[in-house]
Structure 1
Amino acid sequence: MAVKSLGYVIIEAHDLSAWRDFACNIVGLMPAQSDREDVALFRMDDRPFRLWVQKGERNAFVAPGWECSTREDFASVLARLEAAGRPVERADVMEARARKVYELARSSDPAGNAMEIFYGRFVDYTPFISPAGVSRFITGDNGDMGLGHVVLTAPNFDEAHTFYKDVLGFGDTDLGRFFLMGGGPDDAGVGFAFLHCNGRHHSLALGQMPENPNGAVHMMLEVAALEDVGRAYDRVLKSKGKVPLSATLGRHVNDKMTSFYMQTPSGFDIEYGWNGLVIDPATWVPTTSMAVSDWGHKWAHEKDD
């Protein structure tokens, strides 16, 4: 019994108007009705929301919302969290209703990354229409592949990696080791674990890095056409630095995603991609990638050769 998808994400921001402009006019998400003036909601499919952006003192990624299929799965995950010594806070019915779920709980991983766990799939049957003309976001049949993926840091890498597999039920997809100093004798490399909970290549990745001040390294949103990526790329370039480009267009080695990276108003990045690899979790044999991309993805901090 395990989580089945990345159901939503919780984000904090000083400026909700900046997020509305970014989410709708750059990313192409659809604004959703919110009952609170201090919360902006954004849709990408028939779910009432996939991004919850709340006004606060920080600009940061707050937590992923991991979805369980059934109440039995939800109860099983909470029991394993408690058995692993992790704190479990059960939300009341009004908090769950606000998240548009049946039941909701909060916890954290051994690296201190917050998370929410829930079950109950709400839909409002309002057709998704992108303000920016995005054809479609890829969330799978009935949304079962989730909204995309999130990359978190874990200085205690081995402990956190084991936690997500043993407690939340993730499976290994790719166990990368990336050599940031050229792979010489003094370069131990940086460990990455790419983990799946459905057919998406990974819904979670963990990096063997210090805690990120913005709460996450990045989250990924996948669109249905390469043209959607190209047009979003153009929108970022036309913003003339208002939306910083974090990495140029490129293609990843492990999940085959063609994508670029842009900075959100909350400081973390969004990877905006197309054509990600879909796996069969029952037969997949984990790989070990030694490179990040086979072309492109030049990062803003990298110097020209």
Structure 2
Amino acid sequence: MTVSDTVFGSVHLGYIVIETDKFTDWHRFGRDAIGLHADRFSSQAMRFRLDEHECRFLLQRGPAEDVTALGWEINDHESFDRVVARVRDRGVPVTEGTDEEAALRGVERLVRFPGPKNIDQEIFTRPRIATEPLVISSAGFVTGASGLGHVAVTSTQPHKLRGYYDTVFDARLSDYIDETINGAKLKIRFLRVNERHHSIAVAAVRGLPVDPIRTRIQHLNIQVTELDDMTGAYQRVKQLGFAMALGVGQHTNDRELSFYALTPSGFEWEVGWNPIVIDETTWEPTTHRGISIWGHTPEGQTIIDKLAQFKHAALSLRHREQTVPALSDPGIADD
């Protein structure tokens, strides 16, 4: 592939779609605890903002209690057309978004196609800019060229997820982390599509085809501009009675300081500060031992929570993880 053919650097995580029946809890969590701008459309839809974009998180009424779609902003029409052609040329269906769907997401030129783990991938060319003033409980959030943040997923077929994002978006490997949690050996792959250290993280249990996480994503991440904003959100989460998954700590690979709260839908929400920005001229992938330099201590996890994870891991053996084979051939070495 020539430099002119790549879409790397032209792709940014733009929004996340969540299906939930817990609108009241999510409103308190998003606005009052995390500190986002909340817009209620109807009994069927609610949105959160964290910058000038009309929508960064779209909540739609439904029973899944999970993320159902990732929206990727593409810088220009040429790159957009290139992504669509890659998908269609491999026989994968591409669906045009309706005007109503685009309006709800606050975007223009919307299409979707199947993604791993039954998470739709949606791409758009331009976000709509909000006219209402932004009301947030922080100095601001880091988006722009880095995109919204990142998502992390657990997988029994991590090489296929890496192959998918390499095929569709020319994702690059930033690094690996090897970690042992409760006796299970995990390998985590960190993939980037722009200057952000990673937009997708893929965790897998080594040697066992099990997935201990009920939800399609394990966590999502947003980045605040000031350290005080991260600690302030941590305090609000605790004060408002929302569950904390991991306390404040610092990661080994991207050096981000962060904490992880438990959302009303059951997946985790990471609020982070000051991760490194990748320099493409010097960066080399490496393997880190352990997720955190310090901190990220589990908070509030019970034996019942652990048993639920073990049960889900056992059940996952009965169901083959959804992939998109036509888009998932790695074509690259993957440890």
- Percent identical among aligned pairs is 33
Is structure 2 residue 275 aligned with structure 1 residue 276?
yes
Q: For 1:138, what is the secondary structure of its paired residue?
A: coil
Q: Deviations over 1:215-267 (max 9, x none)?
A: 2100001111111111111112222xx31000011000111111111011111
Q: Which residue of 1 aligns with 2:214?
A: 213
Question: How far did residue 110 of structure 1 move?
Answer: 4.2
State the one-letter code of the partner of 2:286.
T
Gaps spanning 5+ residues in structure 2: where? 1-5, 206-210, 304-335
TM-superposed CA distance for 1:129, in Å, is 2.4
Q: Does the aligned pair in 1 maintain the 2:118–2:216 contact within 8 Å?
A: no
Match for residue 177 of structure 1? Answer: 178
Amino acid at match of 1:205: A
Large movers: runs of 4+ above 6 Å: none
More moved, 87-96 vs 57-66:
87-96
* Structure 1 gap segments, 5+ residues each: none
User: Aligned to 1:203, which of 181, 196, 199?
Assistant: 199
The corresponding residue for 2:296 is: 297
Which letter maps to 1:5? H
Give the conservation status (yes or no) of the 8 Å contact 1:135–1:224: yes
Match of 2:190 among 186, 194, 208: 194
| Partners of 2:21 and 2:61 within 8 A in 1 | yes
Q: Partner residue of 2:100?
A: 94
Whether contact under 8 Å (1:198, 1:281) holds in the other structure is no
1:124 and 2:130 are equivalent in the alignment: yes
Structure 2 Cα separation of the partners of residues 282 and 103 of structure 1: 33
Going from structure 1 to structure 2, the CA distance change for 1:235 and 1:164 (only over 3 Å counts) comes to same
Task: State the SS of the aligned residue for 2:287.
Answer: coil
In the other structure, the counterpart of 2:39 is 32
Q: Structure 2 counterpart of 1:29, which letter?
A: L
1:41 alignment counterpart = 47
Partner of 2:70: 64
Which of 16, 21, 42 is the aligned partner of 1:14?
A: 21
For residues 76 and 55 of structure 2, what CA distance do their matches in structure 1 show?
20
Distance 1:302 1:193, change over 3 A: farther
Q: Which residue of 1 aligns with 2:229?
A: 228
- Secondary structure of 2:107's counterpart equals coil
* Preserved CA contact (<8 Å) 2:12 2:146: yes
Letter matched to residue 62 of structure 2? G
Write 1 or 2 for the structure with the bigger share of helix.
2
Distance 1:56 1:14 in 2: 5
- Distance in 1 (CA, whole Å) between partners of 2:175 and 2:69 is 23
Counterparts of 2:213 and 2:110, CA distance in 1: 26
Q: 1:40 to 1:181 in 2, by over 3 A?
A: closer
2:331 counterpart residue number? none
TM-score (norm 2): 0.80
CA offsets, 1:183-216, max 9 Å, x none? Answer: xxxx7x3221111111111111111252742221
Query: Which among 102, 124, 134 is matched to residue 138 of structure 2?
Result: 134
In the other structure, the counterpart of 1:53 is: 59
In structure 2, what is the Cα distance between the partners aligned to 1:264 and 1:100?
Answer: 23
CA RMSD in angstroms, aligned pairs only: 2.1
The answer as to whether partners of 1:32 and 1:48 remain within 8 angstroms in 2 is no
For residue 140 of structure 2, what is the amino acid of its counterpart?
A: R
Distance 1:179 1:83 in 2: 40
Shift of 1:18: 1.2
> What secondary structure, in the 3-state scheme, does the structure 2 residue paired with 1:124 have?
coil
How far, CA to CA, are the matches of 2:86 and 2:155 in structure 1?
20
Equivalent residue, structure 1, for 2:152: 151
How far is 1:282 from its partner?
A: 4.5
Q: Assess if the C-alpha contact under 8 Å between 1:13 and 1:59 holds in 2.
A: yes
Which range moved further: 20-29 or 83-92?
Answer: 83-92
Structure 1 distance, partners of 2:288, 2:216, is: 25
In structure 1, C-alpha distance between the alignment counterparts of 2:36 and 2:190, rounded to whole Å: 26
Give the drift of 1:166.
2.4
